[in-house]
Amino acid sequence: MRLKGKVAVVTGGGRDIGRAVCVKLAKEGAKVVANYFESETDSIETMAAIEAVNGEAISVYADVTKKGDIDNIVAKTKEAFGGKVDILINVAGGLFARKTVEELDEQFYDLVMDVNFKSTVFVTQAFKPLMGKGASIVNFASQAGRDGGGPGSAIYASSKGAVMALTRNWAKELGPQGIRINAVCPGMIATKFHDDFTKDDVRVKVAESTPLRREGNASEVADLVAYLASDEASFITGNNIDINGGLAFS
């Protein structure tokens, strides 16, 4: 219960890694605001999983690429848990499709950059006034932000690289206020993301090339996030931390 009494906001908390993060934080004692967008059914399942560990949470619908929706998450958070937020986890993101340089168009570019980068910027901006000394922000970057990603993922990789740079910069800006900010960089994690966008033979090849000889799972990423959110990581900020089974190193 290392997060007992703390309030945590998680964007993209409806499924996969976002859900695992919500459940882990709740299990550690945090009161959780779980944002979702695509599926109310997914959100209901997240709430049930939190309830199963005797956690306390609310679910808030929002498109985190829109300032008005972000402001609604802030309002719902204040209404449920008061005016103080201790933990912010920016999970929301997506690849959406693999497109070559010839296939790229402005609409696709805006979609990927908005969901992965713009959301991180403006969700953090909106919640910053509620965060004080000892607060922790954890962004979601990607191994793709380090190595450029696979074929057709140039904009996704670039957006995650932007998250990594933002994390480093804001660590300098927020550190004097006692607020820490880090990012996690997942590699091949067994989620719907790879079910949708990575071929089975590629997944097998990557797993076999990984020193631990397997894919990761969402709960392992959630464990890392919970550590970074806790006071146990009180002297860690500005880092983009790999979690990929040893496939790639910083």
Residue 54 CB neighbours (<10 A): 9
Determine the Cα–Cα distance for residues 222 and 184; give it in Å rounded to an integer: 10
Q: Return the residue matching tokens 């959100």.
A: 43
Concatenating the DSSP letter of every residue in 155-218 gives: HHHHHHHHHHHHHHHHHHHHGGGT-EEEEEEE-SB-SHHHHHHS-HHHHHHHHHHSTT-S-B-H
- 130 Cβ contact list (under 8 Å, min separation 6): 74, 77, 78, 83, 84, 85
Q: Return the residue matching tokens 């740079």.
A: 165
Q: Which of 36, 61, 109, 156 is catalytic?
A: 156
Residue 5 CB neighbours (<10 A): 9
- Secondary structure element (H or E) that encloses residue 25, with its range: helix 16-27
> Is there a catalytic annotation at residue 156?
yes
Question: DSSP state, 128?
Answer: G
Residues annotated as catalytic are: 156
